[in-house]
Amino acid sequence: MLPTLLTLWVVLTDIAFGLFLFCAAVNVGYILYFFRRIFKLSPRNVPAEARLAVSIVVCAKNEAQNLSANLPAILTQDYSAIDGSPMFEVVVVNDCSTDDTAQVLSVLQSTYPHLSVVTLAECDVRTAPGKKFAMSKGIDAARYTGLVFTDADCRPASPDWLRAMAAPLAEGKEIVAGFSDFYVRPGALNAFVRFETRHTFLQWATYALAGRPYMAVGRNMACTKASYIRAQSQSRWAKVPTGDDDFLVAGAATATNMGIAIGSEVVTWSEAMPDFKSYFAQKSRHLSAGKYYRPHIKVLLGVYAGSQAAVWLYGFALLFTHFWWAAILVSAVRMLLLMRAMQGAARAAGGRQKMMQLPMLDLAWTLYNFVCSPYVFWKNRQTWT
């Protein structure tokens, strides 16, 4: 009986080691193929005479406090023509707010003539779900063909934010994606949220560079009005109330028409959710658009997440076998490559990544994927507030 059990143990150990090596090779190959492209990004700048006039669209629903804090930084962007006149307007859509949003906007309008307000009422007939209806009304009111999007709770990192976001549009890109970060606050949740945000940026940015764009972040993106209308006309647009950013990329982005804006000045900042409950409520809303990604994108994302989880699972199990040394060595090589890629993402996003935290954050990301997977595959959130 004992020899039989020993033989079975050896066989199972060999199988686990083989699966570990295969999954590690897949994950490392993914990192080398996609993530290395992050180092190809460089900041863009367009001289004043070649700039494109743009409309910044912000949707607001009970955002009086955020608008008071953040909208002046948007309205005072350093983006003007040679003669010094502003080359942008700001369109804020007040979507049935019941707080002091209307009053805040009225005061700001008296100071900034390039601010216009679109007010929606409860009785308005909704032709699109959730935030998408408010967004469509803002775009209808926009005077310019170049559109830039952010949220009321976001603050541009510098007065040069708009210049950096609009530069790729002036160069012929139809969609521009920028990085949106969260303020550093104490606690493990904040550290993970910021890691997950940067890791997600590393994924979608390098996919776009590889000619496979699949998403952007609506808190910091831009596009032409024609591309937005093209995406809006597709049937998937009305599937869920949010996801206008992902659906815009899915419906209008090609292998060559999407640009990535990088640098510390192009980041937008906002507060991360303060607790796990509100964070997962937010993520479930964002992830619900994932089921509508192109099939090959879902496969690639699944392969990466699955191989990463398998490396952790099999690697931990192999620590109790004679393959322990190989498990540590291979896992260390994979982690070093990921660290290098995350350094590149941090550089592109105008910040730094604490490398000593990365192994634990990478493990936490595996658990996060298991918890959030139901929202990717079948659950939809029905509101955007």
217-267 per-position pLDDT tens digit: 999 999 999 999 998 888 777 766 667 788 899 889 999 999 999 988 999
Return contacts of 143-146, CB within 8 angstroms, 24+ apart. 143/53, 143/55, 143/89, 144/52, 144/53, 144/54, 144/55, 144/88, 144/89, 144/225, 145/52, 145/224, 145/225, 145/226, 146/52, 146/53, 146/54, 146/55, 146/222, 146/224, 146/225
Same domain, 373 and 241: no
Would you say residue 383 lies in a domain?
Answer: no
The rounded distance, in Å, linking the Cα atoms of 234 and 242 is 15
Condensed to tens digits (0 to 9), the pLDDT of residues 195-224 reads 999 999 999 999 999 999 999 999 999 999
The rounded distance, in Å, linking the Cα atoms of 123 and 221 is 30
Greater confidence (244 vs 57) lies with: 57
Would you say residue 77 lies in a domain?
Answer: yes
Q: Is the pLDDT of residue 13 over 50?
A: yes
Q: Confidence band (pLDDT; 50, 70, 90) for 65?
A: very high
CATH number, position 119? 3.90.550.10
Residue range(s) defining the domain that contains residue 351 = 2-40+295-377
Residue 379 dihedral angles phi and psi, to the nearest 5°: -90, 140
**Mean pLDDT for the stretch of residues 362-367:** 93
Would you say residue 65 lies in a domain?
Answer: yes
Same domain, 355 and 249: no
Same domain, 370 and 283: no
Same domain, 172 and 283: yes
The three-state DSSP-derived secondary structure of 286-336 is HHCCHHHCCHHHHHHHHHHHHHHHHHHHHHHHHCCCCCHHHHHHHHHHHHH
* Terminal-residue alpha carbon distance, the chain: 62
**Mean pLDDT for the stretch of residues 61-85:** 92
User: What's this model's pTM, rounded to 2 decimal places?
Assistant: 0.90
Same domain, 226 and 309: no
Same domain, 10 and 54: no
Q: In percent, how much of the chain has pLDDT > 90?
A: 68
How many domains is the chain built from?
2
Same domain, 61 and 150: yes
Q: Is the pLDDT of residue 179 over 50?
A: yes
Average per-residue pLDDT in the chain?
89
Q: Is the pLDDT of residue 66 over 70?
A: yes
Within 41-187, residue ranges assigned H as helices are 64-75, 101-111, 131-141, 161-170
Q: Confidence band (pLDDT; 50, 70, 90) for 50?
A: confident
Same domain, 127 and 193: yes
Same domain, 54 and 164: yes
Strands (E), 171-245: 175-178, 180-182, 221-224
pLDDT of residue 354: 75
Would you say residue 204 lies in a domain?
Answer: yes
CB 361 within 8 A of CB 191: yes
Greater confidence (208 vs 127) lies with: 208
Would you say residue 385 lies in a domain?
Answer: no
The rounded distance, in Å, linking the Cα atoms of 318 and 237 is 46
pLDDT of residue 384: 46
Same domain, 283 and 342: no
Q: Confidence band (pLDDT; 50, 70, 90) for 315?
A: very high
pLDDT of residue 288: 65
Would you say residue 12 lies in a domain?
Answer: yes
Would you say residue 136 lies in a domain?
Answer: yes
